[in-house]
Every structure is written in C-alpha cells, then in structure tokens.
C-alpha cells in the first residue's frame, strides 16, 4: 500500500465504522491505506495529521478548502456528496488537487424522492398522513376533488438529464406520462432513448410542463436560474420540483408565484437557506411539500459512495485520472 487516503470525519463510532467500510473495500487490491483524521480538531492539527496524503475524503463545506489547500502534494479531494458547490475547485486545481463528487452514488434515491414529491402533491399524501395522526381521519384534507390527480397524460419536464434526471425519466416510463428534458449537455440518441425523454427548448419545457423537475448542480450559472420570468411562464396548474440545491431557485420569487396563483404547487427537498426559517411562509402553504434535504438518505447511497471513493483512490494509486471530476465553472 503506497497511497495514503484520509477520511476527514468526527472520530466517533460513525466515523470509525465508515473508516472500516472503506478499508475493507480497499483491502481487495491492497493499493490504498485509509486513515481517519478527526474533523473536530483545529485546522493546523488536521493539516499536520494529513501530511503525506494523496487523497482526502472531505465534506462539501467551505472549511474543507483551506485544509486541502494546505496539504502538500494532495492529488484528490473526494466527496461523498453529489454537490461540490462549496469547494473552491479553481484554487484547488491550481494547486494540483482535483475535486470529485460521489459519481451518482445517491442518484436512484434522489430520483425516487423527486417522484414521491410529485405524487404527494398530486394526492395530498402529507395532509392525509397528518390528518390520521391527529385523530381526524380525513377531516383536515383540504381542497375539492379536482385538486387530486394522477400522472397519466401529464408532461414532466426535466431540467438536467444527468445521473439523477435520467433516472427520474426512466422511472416515469410506466406512469403513462410524457417526459421531456433540457440540458446544456448534448446527449446521444442512445442515452435519450434509454432515459425515455425527448429534448425540447428550455422555454417550451417551462411553458408546457405540468411538472418541472430540477436536476442541475449549483454554480455561478445556475444560482437563481429559476426566478420571476420562469414562474410567470409556467402553467397556473404546474408544479415545481427541486431536489438539487435550494439556491437554484429564487425562493422569494417562488413564494410570490404561489401566492399569486402563477403556479399550483411546489415540492422541495432543499431550500435557499438550510435549515429554513420556521416562519418561512412556504411551510404552511397547503400546496407545498418540503422535506429537510434528506433525499439521499438511504443505506445504498452510503455503500455506493464508499465504492466510488475507493475506486477513485485506487485510480490515483495507479497513476490514472480520477473519475467524476468536477471542473471549475
């Protein structure tokens, strides 16, 4: 084992368990030795304990930037998350450190979560569950029957047909709805056919979709990309679904659009500020469902992220380029 990889995490039972999982996977090829460095230590102590590391697995938080920038010879900052928006990829790349995300480790469960949000708004599952728990059976479920609907014959517009967006599209194949998409990336015909989605211009997608589902990374291009103009262009019966990052949507504009009836509803696993303000008016709107950024929380996401992290560390050990590198934007 000639490559040292660091897991930057609290030195508690959970951290030790994760370390054990990573090393068990790495033992197969005997290329990488994983160590745990306590993330609760001071920055200077963390950097000192990471000396000699080729790879560090660190969270997508701003404090990871000065730590990784101070580790001489660091080749890869690997994250367990899909997002890398808080990592200074440009500065780190100038220092010789690539930044890689989790390679779609949580793509399936986030796709499932996006569809669950659509169904919950369609059937008001949130109200139904809370009504039963309150001992009121169905008395607290609001709205006429016309507000309850299926996905049949609806158009779902996916913005971003990457690892997560494509899985949303695949899973909607049997729901008897039409799936369209828009992306800055050009995909080949086989990829589109496998996803079961048809490419359309962005303005057409926004104006004609019954559900608009966002699956883009957060960067300087996508921050607040969905704002007043986009909401005004949507159908008044349409629903916005956001399971990527909260700041992709201008939350004030969304609140106004919902209050003005420019759109029907919204389902979100992310908010502009997290945790969101308890007084956020979106929380109490009957046609809005918010979950606390837990769309990736299934055990399979952890297993997949561990596999991908070890694979990338081993690629560094072999002198190969890592997978899933996120370029500065």
Average pLDDT over residues 243-264: 98
Average pLDDT over the chain, rounded to whole?
97
Summarize pLDDT for 268-303 with one digit per residue, the tens.
Answer: 999 999 999 999 999 999 899 999 999 999 999 999
Distance of alpha carbon 122 from alpha carbon 189, whole angstroms: 32
Among residues 245, 262, 302, 315, the one annotated as catalytic is 245
Count the residues in the chain: 329
Distance of alpha carbon 104 from alpha carbon 149, whole angstroms: 31
Summarize pLDDT for 195-245 with one digit per residue, the tens.
Answer: 999 999 999 999 999 999 999 999 999 999 999 999 999 999 999 999 999
Residue 290, C-beta contacts closer than 8 angstroms, at least 6 positions apart: 267, 268, 269, 271, 276, 282, 283
Summarize pLDDT for 48-101 with one digit per residue, the tens.
Answer: 999 999 999 999 999 999 999 999 999 999 999 999 999 999 999 999 999 999
Structural domains present in the chain = 3-105+298-317 (3.40.50.720), 107-290 (3.40.50.720)
pLDDT band at 1 (very low <50, low <70, confident <90, very high): low
State both tokens at 192: 């589109």
pLDDT band at 2 (very low <50, low <70, confident <90, very high): confident
Residue 274 is a catalytic residue: yes
3-state secondary structure the chain: CCEEEEEEECCCHHHHHHHHHHHHHHCCCCCEEEEEEECCCCHHHHHHHCCCCCEEECCCCCCHHHHHHCCCCCCEEECCCCCCCCCCHHHHHHCCCEEECCCCCCHHHHHHHHHHHHHHHHHCHHHHHHHHHCCCCCCCCCCCHHHCCCCCCCEEEEECCCHHHHHHHHHCHHHCCEEEEECCCCCCHHHHHHHCCEECCHHHHHHHCCEEEECCCCCCCCCCCECHHHHHHCCCCCEEEECCCHHHECHHHHHHHHHHCCCCEEEECCCCCCCCCCCCHHHHCCCEEECCCCCCCCHHHHHHHHHHHHHHHHHHHCCCCCCCECCCC
Average pLDDT over residues 312-321: 98
Pairing label, strands 3-9, 178-182: unpaired
Percent of the chain exceeding pLDDT 70 equals 100
Among residues 123, 293, 297, 311, the one annotated as catalytic is 293
Residue 215 is a catalytic residue: no
pLDDT band at 329 (very low <50, low <70, confident <90, very high): confident
Q: Give the pLDDT confidence score for residue 172 in this predicted structure.
A: 97
> pTM for this structure?
0.94
Among residues 130, 176, 274, 321, the one annotated as catalytic is 274
């Amino acid at each position: 084992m000639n490559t040292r990889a660091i897991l930057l995490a609290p030195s508690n039972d959970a951290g030790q368990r994760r370390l054990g999982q990573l090393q068990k996977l790495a033992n197969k090829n005997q290329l990488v030795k994983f160590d745990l460095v306590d993330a609760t230590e001071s920055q200077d102590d963390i950097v000192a304990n990471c000396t000699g590391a080729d790879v560090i697995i660190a969270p997508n938080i701003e404090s990871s930037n000065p730590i990784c920038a101070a580790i001489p010879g660091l080749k890869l900052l690997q994250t367990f998350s899909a997002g890398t928006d808080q990592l200074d990829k440009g500065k780190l790349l100038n220092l010789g450190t690539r930044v890689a995300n989790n390679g779609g480790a949580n793509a399936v469960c986030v796709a499932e979560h996006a569809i669950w949000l659509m169904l919950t708004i369609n059937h008001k599952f949130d109200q139904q569950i809370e009504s039963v728990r309150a001992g009121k059976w169905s008395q607290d479920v609001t709205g006429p029957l016309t507000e309850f609907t299926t996905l049949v014959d609806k158009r779902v517009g996916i913005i971003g047909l990457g690892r997560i967006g494509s899985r949303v599209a695949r899973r909607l194949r049997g729901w008897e709805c039409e799936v369209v998409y828009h992306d800055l990336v050009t995909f080949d015909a086989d990829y589109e056919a496998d996803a079961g989605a048809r490419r359309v211009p962005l303005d057409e997608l926004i104006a004609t979709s019954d559900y608009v589902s966002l699956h883009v990374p957060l960067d300087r291009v996508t921050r607040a990309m969905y704002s007043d103009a986009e909401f005004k262009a949507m159908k008044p019966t349409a629903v916005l679904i956001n399971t990527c990052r909260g700041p992709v949507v201008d939350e004030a504009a969304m609140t106004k659009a919902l209050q003005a009836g420019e759109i029907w509803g919204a389902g979100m696993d992310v908010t502009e500020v997290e945790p969101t303000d308890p007084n956020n008016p979106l929380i109490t709107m009957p046609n809005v469902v918010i979950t606390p950024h837990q769309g990736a929380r299934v055990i399979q996401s952890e297993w997949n992220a561990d596999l991908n992290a070890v694979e990338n560390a081993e690629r560094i050990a072999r002198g190969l380029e890592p997978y899933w590198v996120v370029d500065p934007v």
